[in-house]
Amino acid sequence: MKTRFLFPYYFKFVGLALIIVIHFPIIHLLQLMHVQFDESDTSLFNYHHVFFVLTYVMIVIGLLMIAFSKEKIEDEHISQLRLDSLQWALYLNYAILVISLIFTNGIDTKDIMKLNLWVPLVFFIIRFRWVLYRLNRSLN
């Protein structure tokens, strides 16, 4: 994986801030206030749709920044681990997606497709961080 396509190292912290400091408090604040969106409004710019788009875009951008930011020391071995983790995450995600689509129908399918927007990034981040952790532990 070419490192010229990776974000700088500090983007990892920007992504974490985007998810933890901005996204989660907004979601929890709206839940505490018991905000109910008008489901009957089907226009493109209703509050429910805009809120949904903004939260999912915020999650995806934050996860992309976390997943594809450089490490402090980015060498060939780290690049290979990154590539292997990405491949593993995509295989796992699509296996779960196919199984989920087979055993669900209707509105559940829509929710599964929404989750599929960011779940591969989460699988990748977990796998990559776990492999790096094991590598660093074995070196020590």
Q: How far is CA 136 from the centre of its chain?
A: 24
Prediction pTM value = 0.85
In this structure, the answer to whether residues 42 and 60 fall within a common structural domain is: yes
pLDDT band at 68 (very low <50, low <70, confident <90, very high): very high
pLDDT at residue 33, as a whole number: 75
What lies within 8 Å, CB to CB, of 140 at 6+ separation is none
More confident residue, 89 or 26: 89
In this structure, the answer to whether residues 58 and 7 fall within a common structural domain is: yes
Q: How far is CA 50 from the centre of its chain?
A: 19
Domain boundary, last residue among 19, 53, 72: 72
Domain boundary, last residue among 29, 56, 72: 72
Residues 97-118 have pLDDT tens digits of 999 989 888 778 888 888 888 9
Residues 51-65 have pLDDT tens digits of 778 888 899 999 999
Q: What distance in Å separates the CA atoms of residue 91 and residue 53, rounded to the nearest whole number? A: 26
* Whether 120 contacts 64, CB under 8 Å: no
